[in-house]
Amino acid sequence: MNILIANDDGIFAPGIQALAQALRPLGRVVVVAPEAERSGFSSALTLDRPLRPIQIAPDMWAVNGTPADCVYLSMNGLFNFEFDLVVSGINNGANLGDDVLYSGTVGAAFEGRLMKQPAIAVSLAGPNVRSYETPEDFAVAAQWVHDFIVQGLPVLPPRHILNVNIPDVTELKGAKITYQGRRNQSKPISSHVDPRGRQVYWIGLSGEAVADPKKGLTDIESDFFAVANGYVSVTPIQMDATNYAILNNLHAQFSKNG
């Protein structure tokens, strides 16, 4: 198996190092990641300047671009072979609920959505994130990803990926298939004055999870619920954001008025 690994925390992030080490027994692992942290870039592609992939070690490349750039380049000419699987992560922080709209980790996985196997976005969720500094901090999560792939990945429709969030707990209780939860509105921005007297702003923190049970899913919980209770959350998400439940009604209204 040829496995492509990308992330949004940067080529030297401990999460991507741990993941690469854990997956090497499964085949050839190629790491292509941003040269520096590119969190929050979603599926953005760089169109206003050239990209320069630099090989810094065998099967390890740094790119002056976004997470999605890394996967796009890898699948469209950077290498003379094809990949069987794309794994993005391990992200230093959760990507739950509405986070997937902004996440560079998820954006990189979506660039790999046409793989023969499902593309996977993997994040470490817990109270200590952003303080992890070594690959050992991600070892349990990385081993879980290895075992998940070995046991056989779920079959998904085209243009779908798996969004995986692994709680930072002493012992994982198992894994749950979950739906994408929802957050409250983000915290307000904070305003400051820099040393030169200019007004600057920091984007506010993410909002808290909302209890949002889905009709018809009586036995399935949200990604927030699974992680909060010590389970790995595995959520199938898709590129097609069309709301088919209201599509026909809207079509009828427009036809009537048009």
Binding residues for a divalent metal cation: 8-9, 39, 91
What residues form the annotated binding site?
8-9, 39, 91
Q: Which residues contact 40 (CB under 8 A, 6 or more apart)?
A: 8, 102, 103, 104
Q: Where are the beta strands (DSSP E) in 35-118?
A: 54-57, 60-63, 85-92
Separation CA 47–CA 72 (nearest Å)? 12
Q: Spell out the residues 6+ positions from residue 189 whose beta carbon is closer than 8 angstroms to its own.
A: 201, 202, 203, 204
The rounded distance, in Å, linking the Cα atoms of 10 and 67 is 9
Cα–chain center distance at 73: 18
Give the containing element (helix H, strand E) for 248. helix 244-257
